[in-house]
Amino acid sequence: MEMLQLKYFLTVARLEHMTKAAQELHIAQPALSKTISRLEEDVGVPLFDRQGRQIRLNPFGKILQNKAQAALQMLEEARREIADLSGMEQGRIHLCLSNMEQLRDPLKMFLTRYPEVHFQIVQSAMADMEQLLESNEVDFFLTALPIQHPGIRQLPLLNEEVYLAVPPGHPLANRQSIDLIEAAEEPFVGYKEGYPYRRMNDEFCRQAGFQPKVVCEVEDPASIAELVRAGFGIAFVGECRSSQELSLVKLRINQPACQRSFHIAWLEHRYLSKAALAFKEFLIQYFAGIGMSDSNSSRLMKLSLNEGIGS
């Protein structure tokens, strides 16, 4: 039984689809099928129930899935601990986030000072985050919604007011504020279904007493700003003004109260390297306002990576 076999098996077990697993692993499907077959020969029992092209993890497979996840995680933690003990500060940090809107500036600041730290970043919807939690492969989750999962610690990094953005020349553009119900008949530009901000924005509209008419669904705030600017519709935007939103008119929402939070979350039992702990502390200080100061940030980073920060 080889580590590569176990990694391939865990991917197939998570997706329960050979073609999708092969695509995610960037290997040919026949090669993946042969690897799984050899693994089943090694353990002496089938790990999946097969019916045509459908595969489902069976009770034998679920036992191996749990043990393989634990074994690979222990090996990864050993690698991280050895790296820390040997003084290797470059580290690797695995992030999962819903979008880059709030992280772009602090990430750039962190990498400017410590370019030897390597990041692996995955952008995913909330449902995918829960799957990644189960596989225990991520150091930190950054999301607009709290993650409801056992063994998770989380902190709010940023609370911000949500505004309604309209293009210049729009009938509402001369207003300073608005009750959200006044926009009930307007076309909206928003995030795709499943994205945390989409769920949150839909809830704002529900509280106001209507269902938004979403005419464009996208994945990033820059696209939303461009579509609003082009006149496709109006949109919810955060208090933090990005360069893409400079030409838009932001209206304060009187009713209902519209606010959102940005959280950092992590598994309590996952080993975090010095670099990962330093990055967590850096984000906390950054969004508290301390990280904005160049001298304070430099002092914090030196302390974090050279002396270590407790969790």
pLDDT digit string (tens) for 161-190?
Answer: 999 999 999 999 999 999 999 999 999 999
Give the total residue count for the chain. 311
The boundaries of every CATH 1.10.10.10 domain in the chain are 3-81
Report the CATH fold assignment for 160-260: D-Maltodextrin-Binding Protein; domain 2 (3.40.190)
Tens digits of residue pLDDT in 269-280? 888 888 888 899
Check pLDDT > 60 for residue 258: yes
Instruction: Label the pairing between strands 235-238 and 152-166.
Output: antiparallel
From the number of C-beta atoms within 10 Å of its C-beta (0-12, 13-18, 19+), residue 276 rates as buried
Please name the residue that has the structure tokens 């799984």.
36
Domain with CATH 3.40.190.10 in the chain: 88-157+262-289, 160-260
pLDDT value of residue 261: 83
- pLDDT of amino acid 306: 45
User: Which has more pLDDT, 273 or 131?
Assistant: 273
Q: Exposed, middle or buried, 232 (CB in 10 Å: 0-12/13-18/19+)?
A: middle
pLDDT at residue number 125? 65
> Among positive and negative, which fits the CA dihedral 136, 285, 287, 275?
negative
If one counts every other C-beta atom within 10 angstroms of the C-beta of residue 282, the result is 24
Question: 3-81: what fold?
Answer: Arc Repressor Mutant, subunit A (1.10.10)
Tell me the percentage of the chain whose pLDDT exceeds 90: 26
Integer Cα distance of 170 and 161 in angstroms? 22
Choose the weakest-confidence range: 106-110, 237-241, 263-267: 237-241
Would the pLDDT of 55 be above 60?
A: yes
Q: How far apart are CA 208 and CA 108, in angstroms?
A: 38
The crossing angle, in degrees rounded to 10, of helices 126-135 and 3-15 is 150
pLDDT in tens, 16-42: 888 888 988 889 989 998 999 989 888
Instruction: Identify the pLDDT of residue 242.
Output: 53
Strand partners, 105: none
Fold observed for domain 88-157+262-289: D-Maltodextrin-Binding Protein; domain 2 (3.40.190)
